[in-house]
Amino acid sequence: MEIKPGIHWIGAIDWNLRDFHGYVTQRGSTYNSYLILDEKKVVVDTVKKHLAKEWLANIERLVDFDQIDYIVSNHVEMDHSGSLPVLMELAPQAKIITSVHGERGLKRHYKKEWDFKTVQSNSSMNIGKRTLTFVHTAMVHWPDNMVTYIAEDKLLLPNDAFGQHIAHSQRFDNDVGWDIIREEAAKYYANIVLPYGLQVQKAIEALGTLDIDMIAPSHGQIWRTYIPKLLEEYHKWANNICQDKALVVYDTMWGSTEKMAHAIKDGLIEAKIPTTVRSLKHSHHSDIMTDVLDSKLLIFGSPTINNGMLPSMGGFLTYLKGLKPQNRVGFAFGSYGWGGQATGQIEEEMKTLKWEVPIPSVRHQYIPDDEELINIKNTAMKLAESIK
Ligand code: FEO
């Protein structure tokens, strides 16, 4: 598909992808690769290895392999470099354009002495009617990441940044509509980019000076209609600007912690705080992270088992801590029989993340009675006040 005159999408659609290194991709994904036909013929990024055949067919329809001058590798991760070896077999004359970290990473992955040309940030390369400019975006989300910008076409090829895991037969943002693309862009940010807010802010600053009317990332749909709305969302996410919303995440053994979770939810709703309740038995941690992204108040509950929290809560907190959501208000709760260590442990994790914890954790022995449930509902209403 020609996305700009002389610039073609040549990627592959992974309709069946449902797990992207532990992240549930309910809508599948794409690996977007682009071919620029100018005086020089340039391939930008490749696709995951198992889809190499259809990708090579896309290239071959447009150009002979021995005519390819450059392959730009914006990012080493194998969903974008996995088909590089097979293309290099067919186009051994091609020079690989990448960052210093990119060259190092590609050599570690493929153990090949290909013809590399490393590029500095903000350096440019003329390919005929166009000039490619490379901007390094280290740690968004690997050290090697860079973006490619084509001023003549007002086109940004940012690789992972601004991606979404969506498999669709049409290529543009308005083909799926704002609600779906926003949801998937948020999930992608929450599960992949969230720890790198400072780097994202710097990258957005560096890109802010560029004239852009199309953003073609390496996953999902190409942005052309919703670019201002997308940048507004990225600004909020990168700065940990949340909404006055609450998220209650819990697991339960015999239903007591669940009763507490629902009493808390009732208090929050009474205090007019939009609230989502997520049971760890029924929701995947990657979906819960999408709720974490814009919820100011994060409330986590677990009963105590063997002097600690349930493994489901332990696993969720391990995942969440790695993604480092900041600027949140936390509260922990749970039932216990004896010991009762889980709530304190959850609260400690919240403090490690530097969240505000205005109200100490609450635990109830065995089964909370009606009065205790009313008390915890009232506690939730106080928590609601703390974020208003
Ligand atoms: Fe889409 Fe970092 O790979």
**pLDDT over 90 (residue 147):** yes
Cα–Cα distance between 138 and 152 in angstroms, integer?
25
Residue 188 catalytic?
yes
**What is the mean pLDDT of the segment spanning 14-38?**
97
Q: What is the pLDDT of residue 70?
A: 98
Q: How many CA within 13 A on the CB side of residue 337?
A: 7
Cα–Cα distance between 145 and 161 in angstroms, integer?
9
Domains of the chain: 2-238 (3.60.15.10), 246-383 (3.40.50.360)
Number of other residues whose CB lies within 10 A of the CB of residue 263: 22
Distance 218 CA to ligand 1 centre (A): 8
Residue 109 catalytic?
no
Angle at 37 between CA 88 and CA 109, to 5 degrees: 25
pLDDT band at 330 (very low <50, low <70, confident <90, very high): very high
pLDDT, tens digit (0-9, with 9 covering 90-100), for 248-276: 999 999 999 999 999 999 999 999 999 99
**What is the mean pLDDT of the segment spanning 340-359?**
98
pLDDT band at 207 (very low <50, low <70, confident <90, very high): confident
The catalytically annotated residue of 69, 79, 144, 173 is: 79
**pLDDT over 90 (residue 209):** no
- Of all protein residues, the one whose alpha carbon is nearest to atom 2 of ligand 1 is 77
**What is the mean pLDDT of the segment spanning 133-142?**
92
Q: Is 294 in the pocket of ligand 1 (CB under 6 A)?
A: no
Q: What is the mean pLDDT of the chain?
A: 97
Q: Record the pTM.
A: 0.95
- Of all protein residues, the one whose alpha carbon is nearest to atom 3 of ligand 1 is 77
**pLDDT over 90 (residue 135):** yes
Distance 360 CA to ligand 1 centre (A): 39
**What is the mean pLDDT of the segment spanning 24-37?**
98
Distance 60 CA to ligand 1 centre (A): 25
Number of other residues whose CB lies within 10 A of the CB of residue 36: 25
Contacts 24+ apart (CB under 8 A), 24-27: 24/284, 24/286, 24/287, 25/165, 27/165, 27/166, 27/167, 27/168, 27/180, 27/184
Tokens in use for 54?
A: 């259809």
